Chains A and B, each alone.
Chain A
């Protein structure tokens, strides 16, 4: 079994990987060439990275493309990882930069198609809204879909740092310290970005008729 101390013992290339091994230890083992460590990290984070990409970009097809690139970047950057630093903050910093690069290269607003089941050939696995609303009337199902699409569009339209902060805080459970290190800012700045992002989302939803103004 791999040592449970980050700084104590250098993990062996063939050290055993268990479910209880921390991300940081796994990453150190991965740095040393342990393929099982990569497998375990991938099992833990493949879905989370994919979820982050979809929520950030609102585009399933782009998210699928970037998913592979994210892990290839992780692999190429593995030697620069410092085991003293939380792994997931480091990982999401890579993915955040990848998203920025992608948006910059595309130079167009991301298209929100998250819930567009009719247009997407493989959307069944992407959203679980049906499970919550399938006993409701068609009108309510349609309204819920429209609301979720508007929400996805609003999040995708946010400035990059704000969108990342919001997704990481709401879905990934990162602390604001960690989120700050992902975007290269302080924890306080990250909180302010999240606050502004939530207000922007609200304004956008109200403006498009998917939310009521709060008094």
Chain B
């Protein structure tokens, strides 16, 4: 079935003809139409004339410095991204043990709370206070650690991690103060304990021990909370 071409179709054919992408049959059709249609013939001449003039815009060459500048900018951006990618990879890996540790803490805290409630019920009132503080601190610390392993909209919840460490420090202090654990007795008999007791009294010495012990537990966690550095692209 033969297609009925309109003048617009022949305009399309003309453009393909100029790009040398027109088949022989269609070239003949176009030529026949141009012989018969004066308007298309005139338009075709105009279009061909413009097409023929366009190469006057050719032979464009930039200064070598333009190429070098562009290439250097992209390579610099690639190098920057590569370094960021290494940081990001380490960060992703570091989050795995943090999450596992958080899960263990939650499990441990839950078990401690359950067994502590049973065990605590047999203790005098004063001891219950320390135990409650210990369990609460442990739970808050554990959940904070979970949050610290979380990223929301690309922002690492670093503040939560700090709260977690602080809660752990409080927990450790509570454990230390609780007579049932006898930890303070060991501290008081040590060289450092005697040193601080002589200068700060027994209460101050206990505070130093609890705070120092709490900080110590937070220090090894510091690399795990490391965020990838955010570098601005060198070239905008």
Contact = CB atoms under 8 A, between A and B. Distances in A.
Interface string A112-127: 0010000000100111
Interface in A61-75: 63-64, 67-68, 70-72, 74-75
Interface of B: 8, 11-12, 14-16, 18-19, 21, 42-43, 45-47, 49-51, 53-63, 66-67, 69-71, 73-75, 77-78, 82, 235-236
Contacts of A201: 50, 53
Q: Which DSSP category, helix, strand, loop or mixed, fits chain A's interface? A: helix
Given A47-B61, A64-B66, A194 B71 contact: no
Interface residues on A, range: 35 or more
B19 A169 contact: yes
Contacts of B18: 169
Contact of A175 (B21, B70, B74): B21
Contacts of A75: 74, 77-78
Contact of B59 (A64, A129, A152): A129
A51 B71 contact: no
Contacts of B42: 214-215
Contacts of B235: 68, 72
Contacts of A63: 62
Contact of A155 (B11, B14, B57): B57
B50 A68 contact: no
Nearest to A74: B74
14 contacts: A54-B57, A54-B60, A67-B62, A68-B73, A127-B59, A128-B61, A166-B54, A191-B11, A191-B12, A191-B16, A194-B15, A199-B46, A201-B50, A202-B47
A42 to B, nearest CB: 6
A199 B46 CA distance: 6
Contacts of B70: 42, 46, 67-68, 70-71
Contacts of B51: 170, 198
Interface in A157-214: 166, 169-171, 173, 175-176, 188, 191-192, 194-195, 198-199, 201-203, 205, 211, 214
Contacts of B236: 72
B20 to A, nearest CB: 9
Contacts of B59: 127-129, 131
Contacts of B61: 47, 50, 125-126, 128
Contacts of B57: 54-55, 114, 148, 151-152, 155, 171
A13 to B, nearest CB: 11
Nearest to B236: A72
A30 to B, nearest CB: 10
B76 to A, nearest CB: 10
A70 B66 CA distance: 12
Nearest to A194: B15
Contacts of A64: 62-63, 66
B27 to A, nearest CB: 16
Contacts of B73: 68, 71-72
Nearest to B63: A122
